[in-house]
Homo-oligomer: A and B are copies of this chain.
Amino acid sequence: MQITILGGGGFLGRKLAQRLAAEGTLGGAPITGLTLFDLAAPPAPEGARFPVRCLGGDVADPAQVAAAIPAGTAVVVHLAAVVSAQAEADFDLGLRVNVHGTLAVLQACRALPRPPRVVFTSSVASFAGGQGALLADDARQLPTNSYGAEKAIGELLLQDASRRGFLDAVNLRLPTVIIRPGRPNRAASSFVSAILREPLLGLPAELPVPEDFAVWICSPRRAVAWFLHAMTMDTAPLGLDRGINPPGRSVAVGEMLAALEGVAGPAARALVRPVPDPAVEAIVGGWPASFTAERARRPLGFSEQEGMEAIIEAFIADDLAATRAERGL
């Protein structure tokens, strides 16, 4: 089985590649090749017993994307994106990467002799509703930001391409993924990771929203588990509707900080100070804080999100040392 990860240099792409290298198989079939594609050629995962191609390129360039999805590709995981605050700051860049990029992926998949599975990371940011919302599986996507609009457009493109038999898409609307390793990024939701990661590194962090502000979250481990499930699941029960709200958790920022204190002590908690940021709240405040996620759970078998303490402990186990090293701490 040949696999391509677009955005394979991002933190979820690298974790997924590492997991595939460790497993060596997917859905019971041996992995015969892996292509990782990102702006800069991503690092190959350690210990892979199959060939790994690492390509640097532009996801909006159809020829480069086609080269990353060779004949025989069975699964494409499309994680390449310009994130929320950046897409808001640079409209043309967001359109180019998030819309034209997904169009290039569609056409590259369509050109294959056999339609591949495509796992597309859409986002909670494609919905409106805000703090009070509890969104059902058939909720309308009414994006409050360009990133969310571009993700909803990507879903429509890949859903229609699935109906036509060009490819076989699973559009996963990922919650805010915490705790991101490394440095703050340009996602408006970057603070949700920062208020946990920075104190675990012994560094201060700013909280731009009130403590009762709730966020629909998942962990990197859970996201990777969902990718693996989406890469091999039976898509027949999806029918026309390729959009899936996986079972994340709705957690108030105050609960996150309480879990931080529980795991790392009051000194860690004390490193977080409130610094209201209306620009950040304007973006993330539009995202719904809760989903029913019924379809993903019962008929489709997506696994449950673990609790906040487990998320913090997993970050310490999986990412804290590498983050320290990366940042020279």
Q: A interface vs B, CB < 8 Å? A: 91, 95, 99, 103, 128, 138-146, 149, 152-153, 156-157, 159-160, 163-164, 166, 240-241
Contacts and interface: CB of A to CB of B under 8 A. Distances in A.
A143 B128 contact: no
Given A138-B140, A139-B140, A153-B153, A240 B160 contact: no
A146 B164 contact: yes
In this complex, the member of A128, A142, A143 whose beta carbon has the largest number of chain B beta carbons within 10 angstroms is A142
20 contacts: A91-B166, A95-B103, A128-B240, A138-B140, A139-B140, A140-B141, A142-B240, A142-B241, A143-B156, A143-B160, A144-B163, A145-B160, A149-B156, A149-B157, A149-B159, A149-B160, A152-B156, A153-B156, A153-B157, A156-B156
A98 to B, nearest CB: 11
B240 A164 contact: no
A241 B127 CA distance: 12
A153 B99 CA distance: 10
B240 A144 contact: yes
A152 B159 CA distance: 12
A263 to B, nearest CB: 39
A244 B326 CA distance: 50
A149 B160 CA distance: 7
A240 B103 CA distance: 26
Contacts of A139: 140
A138 B142 CA distance: 9
Nearest to A160: B149
A224 to B, nearest CB: 28
Contacts of A145: 160
A140 B140 contact: yes
Contacts of A143: 156, 159-160
B128 A164 contact: no
A317 B140 CA distance: 41
A35 to B, nearest CB: 25
